[in-house]
Amino acid sequence: MSAPTFADISAKFTEATLDEIIQNAGGTKHTSYKFGAGGKKGDSYLSRVFRLCVYGVKEPEGEQLEVNVIVKGMPDNMHRRRLFRSTDFFRNEIHFYTKVIPAVEAFQASRQPKPKKPFVEYPKCYASLCDGVNDFIALEDVGFRGYRSPDRQSYIALEDALLTMRTLGRFHGVALAFKALDADNFEKAASALEETYYGEHTREWYTGFLQLAENVALDAVTKTLPNTKYETLATNFLQPQLFDDMINLVSTRSKLSVFGHGDCWTPNFLTRYGQDGAPQEIIIIDFQLARCASLALDISFFMYSCTSQQLREEHYDELLRAYLESAQALITDLGGDAEAVISWESLQEELKQFGRFGVGMGIESLPMSLIEDDEVADLEAIVENAVLTDVWNIKPFEQPAKRQRIAEIFKHAVDQGYIK
């Protein structure tokens, strides 16, 4: 394979973009660059991913800079671009980095006294362009700070789950503080985000695939938990109206609405581990599905897509308390009344109202994470009139362990009173 060129990223990615990257890193201009290795099949449906190292200089000192970036560009296959609605997702993520993050940074910087530990668990954005055709975004490659993605199929360990929940608590906590202390600017930032997944505008695009996901889930529950209340309630949940319920869940604003991530599965929580193997810090990536909605959407998505039933049964409250304490600590640090903003009771209430969202999303994300690498469709082979089910053609699982993993999210959600 030949080395990538700027044109592979975007017709609008140029030498001037490299200058912009260096300037946003504190330098004056770029001096040279080199491309690095790309990702693997199935890790990015919506974009093409490039690694780039940009060298630059800071005048007049003559100081040398080296900036490592991940550049996401639109798929060059137009059918793939249309099928995965890349334009919508790119626009939303670029707005997150260029409108929401700067608003969050300005809010945190405006607080007196200054917060001791502001929320900074995201990559820096060095350059972007959004015109619906040549979109790209250049983000800090946090791999050079030791952050890496966990394995796509394995269950998350308790220590990783606790750190993820604490990080999610800080991500939501900054939004809760922002909303409580500067509501006008919070709403202005929130208006930059759009619903990319569950809306009337996506019904035709998504519901064929949702039907496949419902079939896979129903097969899993009926074979794993036959003749139980779980089978009955899962059957009621897995009906055609599920799409409307998901629209309702993402569009209902509540007292605990935040800037949500929208895609809370493990690969989007890059983790830095200590020499003893213990997880130390997380950086959150991939905000293409970001939305302003209930914090319970992200929590339930993470719980049902990334944790095992054993972990949930043994540590569910512990994970929620780690989240809550972390959110409250940041709200306090930013000068808010943490207990008035979010309490254990209001968190539980929110999960009762919105927690089923994680099941609706889990019946998609779990089968997608459980398919083997050789079952992932060739994205460059997508043809003109392809629909989502041509690429995401998921079928009931033969392996009992995979069926069980899907069935267990219904068991937990029913036991918690999220599905009734």
Chain segment 352-389, per-residue pLDDT in tens: 999 999 999 999 999 988 887 667 667 667 777 788 88
Cα(294)–Cα(97) distance, integer angstroms:
20
Cα(50)–Cα(211) distance, integer angstroms:
34
Identity of residue 394: I
Residue 43 binned pLDDT confidence (cut-offs 50, 70, 90): very low
Identity of residue 37: A
State the pLDDT at residue 418: 98
Cα(284)–Cα(166) distance, integer angstroms:
12
Question: Which residues are CB-neighbours of 51 under 8 A, at least 6 positions away?
Answer: 35, 36, 37, 38, 68, 69, 70, 71, 141
State the pLDDT at residue 198: 97
56 beta partners: 30, 65
Structure tokens at 245: 């319920």
- Judged against a pLDDT cut of 60, whether residue 301 lies above it is answered with yes
Helix-helix angle 295-306:400-416, to 10 degrees: 150
Q: What percent of the chain has pLDDT above 70?
A: 95
Query: Which of left, alpha, beta for 134 (phi over 0: left; psi -120 to 50: alpha)?
Result: alpha
Structure tokens at 181: 């202390």
CA-CA-CA-CA torsion sign (248, 88, 260, 317) = positive
Question: Which domains are delineated in the chain?
Answer: 77-122+147-416 (3.90.1200)
Phi and psi angles of residue 284, each rounded to the nearest 5 degrees, phi first: -90, 135
For residue 197, count other CB atoms closer than 10 A to its CB: 21
Rounded mean pLDDT of 211-236? 98
Alpha helices by DSSP H, 4-157: 6-9, 15-24, 78-83, 86-95, 101-110
For residue 408, count other CB atoms closer than 10 A to its CB: 24
Chain segment 267-284, per-residue pLDDT in tens: 899 999 999 989 999 999
- Cβ proximity of 101 and 312 under 8 Å: no
- Cβ proximity of 288 and 46 under 8 Å: yes
Query: Which of left, alpha, beta for 227 (phi over 0: left; psi -120 to 50: alpha)?
Result: left
Q: Higher pLDDT residue, 81 or 21?
A: 21
Instruction: Please report, for the chain, how many H helices and E strands are present, in that order.
Output: 17, 10
